[in-house]
Amino acid sequence: MISLGGNSRQSLASLRSALDEKLKGLSPDDCAAISEDLFRALAALNSSVGLRRAFTDPSRDAQSKAVLVNDLFDKSLSKSVLFLLLEAVSQRWSSSADIASAVEQLAIEAEATAANGRDCLDRVQDELFIFGRILGENRELRQTLGDRMGSVTGKRELVESLFGAKADTSTVRLLSQMVNGLAGRSIDSVLAVYQDAVAARRNRLIVLVTTSAALTSVQSEKLKQVMSAQAGQPVHLNFHIDPAVLGGVSIRFADEMVDGTISTRLAEAGRALAV
């Protein structure tokens, strides 16, 4: 995931939580549409230093920032993405460039969520890795796609001709956005941002389940259904066996802990009796 400091790191965490709520329960196509709108907003931010500064100026009141967002994007972006941008300008940022980095992170994660909804997120991760290896082995392709002055249409068509019939649709969309969104960066550094963001989304959808003994396949499937319903999208279960757990199940998902173990309940009861 992108490396931010201080206020920007906290602001990104807040925006990722807001994105979770907007993506909850959406179809893969709807998640991809949100990603596309976020990339559209990113292009506007990358094209104007003045706009980034206006959105992050701490001396400017939140209301005037919100008016600017609405004036610029109300008719061109979905309500969900407009909400996310309003949230972004209400946050504090360590530098004006950080808001663009955060919007880029959200855009990539939204597309990764679309892939997850089709059970293709692992495939997208693998294909981004393969793309990096291809770049390293093909100097001409690397120069063409990494040319900051290259044709937007030409790059997109090249990506689609090379990968469209072989790669997942989310991979092709991400690569098309990536090669046309370098924003003065090397193609290697931008690819690393995309790989990290996709991995961050996958990590956000992992449920860590701790039990004293292995669950049955029926229990595992039931738990997966329950957690997927709670998250509003498919999740991945990682199991950990801990003999100290006397019974029940301890679940960690995203930043939340749902602990139903007997040992925990006994400890809580003991603390209550000691008061």
Q: Are 136 and 213 found together in one domain?
A: no
Co-location of 146 and 268 in the same domain: no
Which of 83-97, 146-160, 209-223, 258-272 tops mean pLDDT?
83-97
Which of 203, 228, 260 terminates a domain? The answer is 203
pTM of structure: 0.88
User: Looking at residues 168-187, what average pLDDT do you find?
Assistant: 96
Q: What is the DSSP string of the chain?
A: -----HHHHHHHHHHHHHHHHHHTT--HHHHHHHHHHHHHHHHHHHT-HHHHHHHH-TTS-HHHHHHHHHHHHTTTS-HHHHHHHHHHHHS--SSHHHHHHHHHHHHHHHHHHHHHHTT-HHHHHHHHHHHHHHHHH-HHHHHHHT-TTS-HHHHHHHHHHHHTTTS-HHHHHHHHHHHT--TTS-HHHHHHHHHHHHHHHHHHTEEEEEESSPPPHHHHHHHHHHHHHHHTS--EEEEEE-TT--SS-EEEETTEEEE--HHHHHHHHHHHHH-
Q: Where among 184, 203, 222 does a domain terminate?
A: 203
Report the range out of 28-32, 139-143, 227-231, 245-249 with the highest average pLDDT. 28-32
1 within some domain: no
Of 166-175, 182-191, 266-275, minimum mean pLDDT range: 266-275
pLDDT in tens, 16-53: 999 999 999 999 999 999 999 999 999 999 999 999 99
Mean predicted confidence (pLDDT) in 95-118: 97
pLDDT tens, position by position, 54-65 = 999 999 999 999
Structural domain total, the chain:
2
Residues 247 and 195 in one domain: no
**Quick one: pLDDT at residue 231?**
84
What integer is the mean pLDDT of 126-148? 94
- For residue 243, the enclosing domain spans 205-274
